[in-house]
Structure 1
């Protein structure tokens, strides 16, 4: 769509950064982000289910080897970083890593490829990278936050969780208000930092791809390929960081002082 005469550079950028939305105000739904995030989550489940169904003790296929390497990699990280006993953590870590990676991977699709096809079919806006939508990253981080609170209360009890918020880092009744403020800020900062870190890195990467698409056609390949190669590292690293911090936070929630 960069070549369409009715679009200026600013309107082109704005067009690619606008979600396909329905509803108003707080109840606005970003249909494209929901569609691609749920679709990629379903793709992850389907691929790993097929790998599990077709797994063999004999000579494995290349995809089975890949899945086994992923499972062993995540299992090793959980064993090293998680100091409790919970059979949910490893599958959760695997799900987060692969799902976030697949959502990030959509950033490597040419910026005009799918949105322009949708535009020709009458869809005015379409963002295909779910993690460039703050609603998606906050949804993921809020889910992690709820698990942190749930396991903190389950392992330590309500009284233990309250004591953790009120008697740390200063174990004195007179400093309970100070402890409560510090620990509450620390607790709330976890989902906020998770969401903003993932969103900021992917949003910046997508914006650079859009700016490259505005340049003359003969320079786009020379600029987009090196950036795409570098961005592969960002895509993998951000998925790993989100997964790793989730495991660490849940490990902290399981520590009973």
Structure 2
């Protein structure tokens, strides 16, 4: 029953995020084309995707990555809010930073890998997609089972590594802040300031790393 409940929860979160992305994608795309700082992000992504992704799927993948970037960025930036103060006010120990919850990061990674699978099949076809798991890296009949095992594990590890990387960085930073809060007054101020500067640079950087890896994974699948 617990496994079934977990599966239903994952399914609901994925469907919810798909609906959010569909509803916000056009708005975000229009906004990014009219704001200077976001124009630079848009231009960078266009150039990066143009260099490694073929023209046929370039636009849809660009739109997905822009939406994904701002989804993760906004959720990361909730860590700028006084979370501990909010917890004391409402008197509940709840997680106010979505990306420090592994369910949220897995949601993003599973959605990304589904998009990668769809675009890969759309570009190279279902037969070649499956064939890549069997005939690579060693195109020898007796080693097809070995190829499949290695390639399948490698493919499954992509969404796992994506989610754990994002979750680990945000969650570990929260733990360090909690440890610092237990120090004396002067150490608290010194370490909070130094770690805070580093941490708040990491928040946008993690969303950037996430989408960069998604772009690279799609490129690898198509060129495999």
Under a length normalisation based on structure 1, what TM-score does the superposition of the two structures give?
A: 0.72
Match of 1:200 among 152, 155, 168: 168
The question of 1:80 aligning with 2:51 is answered yes
Structure 1 stretches lacking a partner, 5+ long: 1-23, 56-63
Match of 2:122 among 137, 147, 154: 154
Do the aligned partners of 1:108 and 1:228 also contact (CA within 8 Å) in 2? no
Higher relative contact order, chain-length normalized (CA < 8 Å, sep 6+): 1
Name the counterpart of 1:89.
61
Name the counterpart of 1:5.
none
Structure 1 residues 175 and 45: alpha-carbon distance in aligned structure 2, compared to 1, 3 A threshold = closer
User: What aligned pairs does 1:67-146 form with structure 2 within 5 A after superposition?
Assistant: 67-86=38-57, 87-119=59-91, 124-146=92-114
Structure 1 residues 51 and 25: alpha-carbon distance in aligned structure 2, compared to 1, 3 A threshold = same
Give the number of the structure whose alpha-carbon radius of gyration is greater: 1
Alpha-carbon offset, residue 132 of structure 1:
0.8
- For 1:110 and 1:183, how far apart are their aligned partners in 2? 44
User: What aligned pairs does 1:208-247 form with structure 2 within 5 A after superposition?
Assistant: 208-247=176-215
Q: CA RMSD in A?
A: 3.1
Name whichever structure is richer in helix by fraction: 2
1:154-185 CA distance string (max 9 Å, x none): 22222212211100001111111011101101
Structure 2 stretches lacking a partner, 5+ long: none
Do the aligned partners of 1:212 and 1:220 also contact (CA within 8 Å) in 2? yes
Structure 1 residues 109 and 81: alpha-carbon distance in aligned structure 2, compared to 1, 3 A threshold = farther
Number of corresponding residues? 214
The question of 1:174 aligning with 2:142 is answered yes
- For 1:80 and 1:232, how far apart are their aligned partners in 2? 30
- For 1:45 and 1:177, how far apart are their aligned partners in 2? 41
